[in-house]
Each structure stands twice: as structure tokens, then as C-alpha cells.
Amino acid sequence: MKSKTPLTTLDYPCEAWIKNKYLERNKTGEHKLRQLHGKFLLCDGYCFAISSKVVTQCITKSGPVKLSGKITLYTTTQPTKNPKKLLTNKVVRVLLLWLIAFGGCRARQLIKPTPQMDIESNLWIRVLLLDNARACKLMVPSSFAVLNPQTQTTEALFGQVDVAVKVGISAGRIVIADQRFSGAQIIILPDKPYIFNINGDDYRGKLKLILNPDGNSFDVVNVVPPEPYLAGVVGAEMPDYWEPAALAAQAIAARTYCFYIKKKFGSNRTWDVKRTAANQVYLGVSAESAQVWDAVNKTQGQVLVYKQNNSIEALFPAYYSSTCGGHTENSRHVFGDSFGSLVGVPCPYCKDVAKPSFFFWPMAQFDKTNVTDRLLKRYPKLKQLGDITSIRPDKQSNYGKFSRLTLVKLLGSTGKSDFLRAEDLRLTIDPTGRKLRSTICKIIDMGDKWAFLSGRGYGHGVGMCQCGAQAMARQGKTTEQILSYYYPGSKIVRVY
Ligand SMILES: [Zn+2]
């Protein structure tokens, strides 16, 4: 229950507000200001409340946004920091100008040192932060060393603390603060608390810079122990004020997924996972909170396994998505892979937790020309179809009152046709997934537009339904019960 105590004056960055429950973070890491009348405002930077108890300014990464109307924030708890004195409009304006000039700066929080820095090397997760970068800005709140990854010998020591250092390329070599390094790969190892900031975002562990073969760019990889990695994922993938049992289920699912991906793909490349929803969203230190760390620590080393046909227990990609809409889906129909624990199950739970507009989403419309352009660009094999003139359901999973499209047949102006997985169609037409939220919908030809109607759920629907997990936890179900429900036949094992 929210109290009726409005916030007074705050100049906290959004991160501080999130930790104190004034804001929610959505799936892509943006921040939602909770408005009085149920509307949400997206903000990826700073928000300001001034003396009249209303939020008047929001500084996003692309600049300030003036808020229309009054937004009052409500809270159940007082901030852990002492709110600063009431700011006058003039002071706010000065502060805003300062923030605009130094966008992205924020007060450094007191955070605990990175744990597991001595854990065995095969358990570290390599997260691709930037690929094909030509330059980036590094800032470390401690001294740091530059190491040769093969020999682990120290090639340079940097003693300056919290000073922005330029990392770039010169004559085919990596350069850090005007110092050139001959190796194709180098490791940056911060001293305690083992945290660094790259382009404005804090991460834990080490940083690996990998020169690309052309010598003109480099990849930036965060090499991070498993639990700090998971803290940066769990806090990004689930609101940290959700039930502890749901957060723990999220931690185990995310750990299982990342170790599966690392094992399957990591040996053939210089990184294991991306930091985006292409794998699972990882926001580093900014996603952390006490609740998130509790979920990660109490499940330390725990993953899910299932029994393969040969009776050997194995990891599987424990997919999860926001809101299944009433029934989860078989992985084979969405991703084309097949695992005994990734089959669809009824989910009577998520409707109790999901926002009504997520559970039943409004009609989404897209111009036919745009749809054709996007599909042909993403799937060149479809060029033979010409303009897409018809999108017909070909296969669907029927759940009784509703069904999820799994395969569509595309017809083109040339008379040719082809097939596409419905989930691929969805994310090609709407890569953010914010309008076209799932494939539980009907497709209607509206002349120059395609309309998607009767939509239910948010996300691909495979594996754990996050809103369902929260609803189960609210009913008193344990982490084990949640996971065995959404991943039938799986069991939890501790691997380190
Ligand atoms: Zn569900």
C-alpha cells in the first residue's frame, strides 16, 4: 500500500529514487516516474521535484524534458539520504545547467567492494559492453593496472583516481591516456573496490580491450565474477521491490541462462553474453540494491538442470519473459530449440500482477510499406516476394480462449510466398516490442496498414513468466515451486 505522503524536495538522481521506490525501471532500463493518475513518464537521466511537491523537470540523456502537468510522487518510506534543503527555482536552474553541461555525472554511491575476485577463471562472465569502438572514456575510482592477458604481467600502473582517461586507437594499437600498448588484448584491473566506469556507467570486475583484426577499432568486454554479473542483471530484469522468492527465482533463471550461453557459444568468441535483451539486460552497478544482492547471494552457485533423453542432467537456456498472457510457450515454436523443461504451461497468475495494459494491450498499427521495408532488410531471402501483401497465421498454439501465433505465411506482390516465425515477425516490425507486445494477437488488413488486435501478454512467453512468478510468490509459493512450475521437470543444483 502506498501512503499518502507526497515527497517534498529532492534533487536525487533517478537511481537514488529507484532504490527508495519512488520510481520503477522498465525492461529496457529506462525509468518510469510513477504519476498520480496512473500514467508513466519515461526518464533515463535525472528527475527533479521542487518545493511545490511536483516534479517539474526531467533530464534525460538527450537533454531536459519539461513535464506537462503536475506529477506527484508518493512513497512508503523516507529516503535513506537526507533530502537537501528546499531548492529555489533559481538554484534548480543553475543545477540543471550544470547537469546538462556535465550530463551523466552523478554522486558516487558508497558501495561494497566486488566479491568473488578470486573465483576460478572458468566461472567469470565476459559481457560485451561495446563492439567496434574507436574510443571510449574510462574512469576508475581507484588506481588500476594494465595487464597482459597471456602472461598476466603488469604493463603499466595508473595511480590517478576518478580522472577521466581516454581510451582509443593509434597506428593500430590500443592507447590509454597517450600510452600505447603493443598487445592485441589488454586487461584493465582496478584496485579495490574493483569497479570502473566506462562511458558513464559503473561496472564491477575487470575490463578487457580486444583490438579488432583491422586495427581500427576494439571491443570492450567486462570480465566479471558471476554473482556481481547477476546483481546487474536481476536488478535490470525485475523490480527490486518484488517478493524475495520471485527475485531469487529470477537470479537462478538468469544464472542458468548465462552459463548455458557461455558454455554453448563462449568458446568460439571473445565474449559470452551481450549486455542487452539480445541475451539478458545487464546494467552493472546501477541495477544493484540490497534486495537484489540478497536474491543473488542466497542462491549463489545455483542453476537449473533437466534430464536429457540419455538421462544425463544438463543446463538449458532458462528463458523468461515479462507477462505470458495466460499460457507460456514451447521454446521450439519461438526459438527453434527443444528442451524438456521449456514447454508451455497454463499461467493463471500473471493477470494478478501485470498492468492491465500489459496483460491486454491496445491495438497496434504499422504502415504496410514500413513493414515490407523492415522485413526485406532483416531477411534478404524475402526480397523475392516484392511487397508483402498478406500475413496469414500458419501455425498457432491454442490455449482455449486464446491462441499464440507461432508461424506466419507471407504472400508478396510477385505471387511468391514464404514463412517466418511469428516472434521474428513481431520483433522485426517493432524491435522494441513496446507496441506489438506478443504474438497472442490477431492480424487484420486495414488497407495501407497492418493492425494487431486482441493482444495479450508482453514478451516471447517462453519459460518463466516474471509477473506470474511474482504472483506465485505473493501467494506464498517458494522459489523452488515457482521454478519447477515454469520449467517442468527441472531441478536446482549448486555448481559452485
Ligand atoms: Zn503468465
Q: What is the pLDDT of residues 354-393, one digit of tens each?
A: 988 889 999 999 999 999 999 999 999 999 999 999 999 9
With vertex at residue 236, the alpha carbon angle to CA 109 and CA 11, rounded to the nearest 5 degrees, is 40
Task: Give the pLDDT mean for 126-151.
Answer: 95
Per-residue pLDDT tens digits for 222-242: 999 999 999 999 999 999 999
The model scores a pTM over 0.85: no
Mean pLDDT of the chain: 84
| pLDDT confidence tier of residue 110, bands split at 50, 70 and 90 | low
Task: Give the pLDDT mean for 31-53.
Answer: 41
CA of 322 to the centre of ligand 1 (A): 8
CA of 326 to the centre of ligand 1 (A): 5
CA of 237 to the centre of ligand 1 (A): 16
CA of 402 to the centre of ligand 1 (A): 13
| pLDDT confidence tier of residue 27, bands split at 50, 70 and 90 | very low
CA of 484 to the centre of ligand 1 (A): 14
With a cut of 70, say whether residue 442 has pLDDT above it: yes
CA of 476 to the centre of ligand 1 (A): 17
With a cut of 50, say whether residue 115 has pLDDT above it: yes
Query: Dihedral through CA 70, CA 71, CA 73, CA 79, nearest 10?
Result: -80
CA of 407 to the centre of ligand 1 (A): 21
CA of 352 to the centre of ligand 1 (A): 9
With a cut of 90, say whether residue 109 has pLDDT above it: no
CA of 143 to the centre of ligand 1 (A): 47
| Cα–Cα nearest to 294, from 141, 81, 33, 479 | 479
CA of 76 to the centre of ligand 1 (A): 28
* Strand ranges of the sheet holding 403-412, from the earlier edge strand across to the other edge: 388-398, 403-412, 417-421
**How many CB atoms neighbour CB 226 within 10 A?**
22
CA of 456 to the centre of ligand 1 (A): 10
With a cut of 70, say whether residue 32 has pLDDT above it: no
pLDDT of residue 16: 36
Distance (Å, whole) CA 348 – CA 261: 30
With vertex at residue 312, the alpha carbon angle to CA 308 and CA 317, rounded to the nearest 5 degrees, is 55
Burial string for 40-51 (b: 16+ CB within 10 Å, else e) reads: bbebebbbbbbe
CA of 247 to the centre of ligand 1 (A): 16
**How many CB atoms neighbour CB 182 within 10 A?**
9
CA of 2 to the centre of ligand 1 (A): 25
CA of 350 to the centre of ligand 1 (A): 4
Cβ(329)–Cβ(271) under 8 Å? no
Per-residue pLDDT tens digits for 460-471: 999 999 999 999
CA of 342 to the centre of ligand 1 (A): 14
| pLDDT confidence tier of residue 37, bands split at 50, 70 and 90 | very low
pLDDT of residue 65: 52
pLDDT of residue 234: 98
With vertex at residue 316, the alpha carbon angle to CA 311 and CA 317, rounded to the nearest 5 degrees, is 170
CA of 184 to the centre of ligand 1 (A): 47
CA of 116 to the centre of ligand 1 (A): 34
Burial string for 56-86 (b: 16+ CB within 10 Å, else e) reads: ebbbbeeebeebeeebebebeeebeeeeeee
With a cut of 80, say whether residue 4 has pLDDT above it: no
Residues 6 or more apart from 488 whose CB is under 8 A from it? 340, 341, 343, 345
CA of 345 to the centre of ligand 1 (A): 9
For the chain, state the CA radius of gyration.
Answer: 24
Residues 6 or more apart from 471 whose CB is under 8 A from it? 349, 350, 352, 353
CA of 458 to the centre of ligand 1 (A): 9
With a cut of 80, say whether residue 485 has pLDDT above it: yes
CA of 325 to the centre of ligand 1 (A): 5
CA of 330 to the centre of ligand 1 (A): 14
Distance (Å, whole) CA 63 – CA 66: 10
Task: Give the pLDDT mean for 407-422.
Answer: 97
CA of 446 to the centre of ligand 1 (A): 30
CA of 376 to the centre of ligand 1 (A): 33
pLDDT of residue 295: 98
| Cα–Cα nearest to 479, from 273, 238, 315, 286 | 238
Task: Give the pLDDT mean for 423-442.
Answer: 96
CA of 391 to the centre of ligand 1 (A): 27
CA of 473 to the centre of ligand 1 (A): 13
With a cut of 80, say whether residue 273 has pLDDT above it: yes
CA of 238 to the centre of ligand 1 (A): 14
With a cut of 70, say whether residue 448 has pLDDT above it: yes
With a cut of 70, say whether residue 107 has pLDDT above it: no
Amino acid at 455: G
What angle in degrees, to the nearest 10, is found between the helix axes of 466-474 and 244-265? Answer: 150
Per-residue pLDDT tens digits for 155-192: 999 998 889 999 999 999 999 999 999 999 999 999 99
